[in-house]
Structure 1
Amino acid sequence: MHLMQEAIDVLKSKNIEITKEEEEATLIAILLHDIGHGPFSHTLEYTLIESINHEKITDFFMQELNRQFNNQLNLALQIYKNTYHKRFLHQLISGQLDVDRLDYLTRDSFFTGVSEGVIGTERIIKMLNVSNNELVADVKALYSIEKFIISRRLMYWQVYLHKTVHAIETMIQSIFKRVKVLIESKTDIFLPPSLALFLQNTISESDFVNNPSTLKAYADLDDRDIWFCIKTWRTHPDFILSELCKRLYNRNLFKIEVSDNDFDESYIRRKKSECVLHAHLNQMEVDYFVIHGKMENTAYNKALAPIRILDKNNKLHTLETLSDHLNHRTLSENVNKFFICYPKELSTSV
């Protein structure tokens, strides 16, 4: 919210018209734009609620707050949903050069001690501008923006998609995959009321719209609910669930291998066979312990509303046409890496 206020002040100082109402609405929108995230953020997205993403749930929260505050969030909703004619206000909230990315890269870099995430936030904000109601940056910001995109790529591979982080996320997803199977088979399992609502039922958008208790139950969920369940499920009679929970709780994490090329099917089958023998599992059960998939990272998507640079002659250019760095595949195109997770004792088995 602080960076958004700075960005608005910079634009107003450049004679970009932003009314008091628009300023307030934009600040409200940035404050609430991620309110729809559930426990463990993206890790359990589409797990607790299979068909609804956090952006849509954010919309539900904002609609409910708008109702409670007698439609005072109408403008904030328009800006958030990109239906307001001043598109640059939405682009400050959600875009390839939005204040959210400027904020979390610097913050996460500080708290993880990964210096590659340090970017010239103040410099970039001071160079923001508007052309044809679109957010642009003055050409003086070119190198700072290049550094921002390079930092974003490095932070994803070193922090957000770090091997240990991905192993933990994969184990959590495997746990909840098993929980859903047990629920479907009518097996008794401890669940807090709010969590039970989403795991035992197929929740649709109409449930959020027509039943306020659904939104309240979602708001009641947090990371502590998930951790308490994992702690409790360590003693569940189902071997798969209890084993996964014990491993995660005791930080006996899966080993993860990451490769630029996909793993050979014979290697995946061998790891599954080792796990079957080691843990006395059948071929269906082993999929909870040997997991193969793909990680993706796009530092800058030039096909999706590219960052535009305003030169000294007020002519617009897309960032990639001015930047040598962004001609490289690793920065301007989707990069895939492949992974396989399995119990670490299998790495020493014969």
Structure 2
Amino acid sequence: MTNKAYPKLFNDPIYGLIELPKGLLLELVEHPFYQRLRRIGQLGWAHYVYPGATHSRFSHCLGAYYLMRKALGHLQRKGIALSEAEMEACSAAILLHDLGHGPFSHSLEYELLDIAHEEISLALMQELNEQMQGRLDLAIAIFKGEYKRPFLQQLVSGQLDMDRMDYLNRDSFYTGVADGIVSYDRLCQLLTVADEQLVLEQKAIYSIERFLMARRLMYWQVYLHKNSISTSQQCLKMMQRARQLKGAGKNWRISSALAFFLDHKYTKAEFWANPKPILAQFNQLDDSDIYQAIKCFAQDDDFVLSFLAQGLLHRQLFKIELQDQAFAPAQLAQIGEELLQKYPITEEELPFLLYQGQQELQAYTAKQKAILVQNKAKQLLPLSAWPELELPTKVLRKYYLSYPKR
């Protein structure tokens, strides 16, 4: 009796059963590098705003993989030649695209390790490729955009990629913000390839308009929600203060991996000069390291560190003000003076409790890597060439000011 290689099934609340064939793809998901993503929250501190937003990068990457297989299947049915190797490599690339996310996803990006998560993902893929004796060569070429068929990389990373298509639907589901729901089935069905570029059929233009609008709405309501910004900045300032104190000789009972990154902030050049020992420590980091550290820091005798940590621990969030122009220096000076009088802090410590910044959003970039639409005459036109569409191409900018509530 033949032992059939039945696929591994994952029950997903968005798509139902996701099948993962035995072989390379299942080996990747079962690898410790990938399993770490179960312990990395997809939306950082957004659960302090939307209590249901506790889903992980693990489920997001599986969802993006599901959409990738769906999109590739539709392309095959339209006569686009795809080898089994290309199908597998593209699937591997989307499964691994978020390996480089650290604790709380974007909240601490560039703070623990001064390098973008995409580059850490690439380094981890290269490490996996060594362990798997070159079986990820093609996946890495696709991920880096070096493969001869650009549309495969565009499915992994582009303005209409499977990453965005999944996180909009998934984050909408878990936050309860219905504006993020997009018709992923229709969009996947209406993808095609022309001159080895990923394009949309003409009848998809209104669906893609909805997709872009959903992305803009989700950014302002979820990803750039004022309390998400405030909490992320509070966490960032806490880690910066901890790094400062550790440099002065203080130690806590925190994880060795977190202590490693607080001892020294590795630059991009230092990382690529010798990535292996840094990656070994990075792969030990997840959200639980930060939660553990918050509890330690909350008991510290340093007022600034303890104040920030207790605020995160008990959800005592800083006040945040948003406006369309930069805040006046006089306003900052007035608030700063009030904080100096109210709290036992010095002028040098004031930036840990009073900070400003800005957030920008452009939901669609019309000039670079524009979404192309194939009209009925088989001509390729940029999405902006359709006058009936209302495209969110404007750069929207918000300035924020955050400080303890008075």
1:69 aligns to what?
A: 132
Aligned to 1:230: 294
Contact 1:297-1:334 within 8 A present in 2 as well: yes
TM superposition shift of 1:296: 1.2
Verify: 1:113 aligned to 2:176, yes or no: yes
More helix by share: 1
User: 2: distance between equivalents of 1:211 and 1:96?
Assistant: 30
Residue 46 of structure 2 is matched in structure 1 by: none
Residue of structure 2 equivalent to 1:169: 232
- C-alpha distance in 2 between matches for 1:194 and 1:288: 24
Does residue 33 of structure 1 match 2:97? yes
Structure 2 residue 397 is matched with structure 1 residue 336: yes
Taking the aligned partners of 1:192 and 1:94, their CA distance within structure 2 comes to 33
TM-score (norm 2): 0.81
**Residue matched to 2:264:** 201
Counterpart check, 1:136 vs 2:205? no
Q: How does 1:4-83 map to 2 (within 5 A)?
A: 4-50=68-114, 52-83=115-146
Q: Is the 8 Å Cα contact of residues 98 and 117 (structure 2) preserved in structure 1?
A: yes
CA deviation map 1:46-67 (0-9, x unaligned): 10012x1111111111111111
CA distance in 2: counterparts of 1:296 and 1:207, whole angstroms: 28
TM-superposed deviation, 1:263:
1.6
**Partner letter of residue 293 of structure 2?**
C
Question: Displacement of 1:113 after TM fit?
Answer: 0.7
CA distance in 1, matches of 2:139, 2:297: 42
Equivalent residues of 2:112, 2:265 under 8 A apart: no
Q: Distance in 1 between matches of 2:193 and 2:353?
A: 51
Task: State how far apart, in whole Å, the 1-side matches of 2:356 and 2:256 are.
Answer: 33
| CA distance, structure 2, for counterparts of residue 259 and residue 290 of structure 1 | 16
Deviation at 1:288, TM superposition (A): 0.7
Aligned equivalents of 1:322 and 1:245: distance in 2?
Answer: 51
Q: Shift of the alpha carbon at 1:225?
A: 0.4
- Does structure 1 conserve the Cα–Cα contact (< 8 Å) formed by 2:124 and 2:279? yes
Structure 1 residue aligned with 2:277: 213
Alpha-carbon distance between aligned partners in 1 of 2:274 and 2:224, rounded to the nearest angstrom: 37
| Equivalent residues in 2 for 1:299-314, closer than 5 Å | 299-314=363-378
- Per the alignment, residue 45 of structure 2 pairs with none
Which consecutive residues of structure 1, in runs of 5 or more, have no partner in the other structure?
none
Q: Is the 8 A contact 2:181 2:214 kept in 1?
A: yes
- 2:314 maps to 1:250: yes
Native 8 Å contact 2:111 2:265 kept in 1: no
Long gaps (5+) in structure 2:
1-64
- Matched with 2:241 is 178
Mean Cα deviation higher: 221-230 or 297-306? 297-306
Aligned partner of 2:217 in structure 1 is: 154
Query: 1:215-248: CA deviations, max 9, x gaps?
Result: 1211110001001101111111111101110111
CA distance in 2, matches of 1:324, 1:338: 32
Quote the residue 2:384 is aligned against.
320
Identical-pair percentage: 38
Q: Aligned partners of 1:89, 1:323: CA distance in 2, in Å?
A: 29
Q: Are the equivalent residues in 2 in contact too, given 1:146–1:323 (CA < 8 A)?
A: no
Q: What is the CA distance between 1:282 and its match in structure 2? A: 1.9
SS in 2 for 1:136: strand
Q: Could you tell me how far apart the structure 2 residues matched to 1:103 and 1:280 are?
A: 46
- CA distances 1:66-109 after superposition (whole Å, capped 9, x unpaired): 11111010000000000001000000000000011110101111
Change (3 A) 1:325 1:255: farther
Find the aligned partners of 2:105 and 2:387 in 1 and give their Cα distance.
33
Q: Return the alpha-carbon distance in structure 1 between the equivalents of residues 312 and 207 of structure 2.
A: 40
Shift of 1:286: 1.2
- Conservation of the 8 A alpha-carbon contact between 2:238 and 2:305: yes
Question: 1-side partners of 2:196 and 2:275: how far apart?
Answer: 38
CA shift for structure 1 position 129: 0.6
Q: Within 2, Cα distance between the matches of 1:40 and 1:256?
A: 20
Distance 1:94 1:237 in 2: 46
The CA deviation string for residues 239-280 of structure 1, in whole angstroms up to 9 with x for no partner, is 110111011111110011111222221111111111111113
TM-score (norm 1): 0.94
RMSD of aligned residue pairs (Cα, Å): 1.4
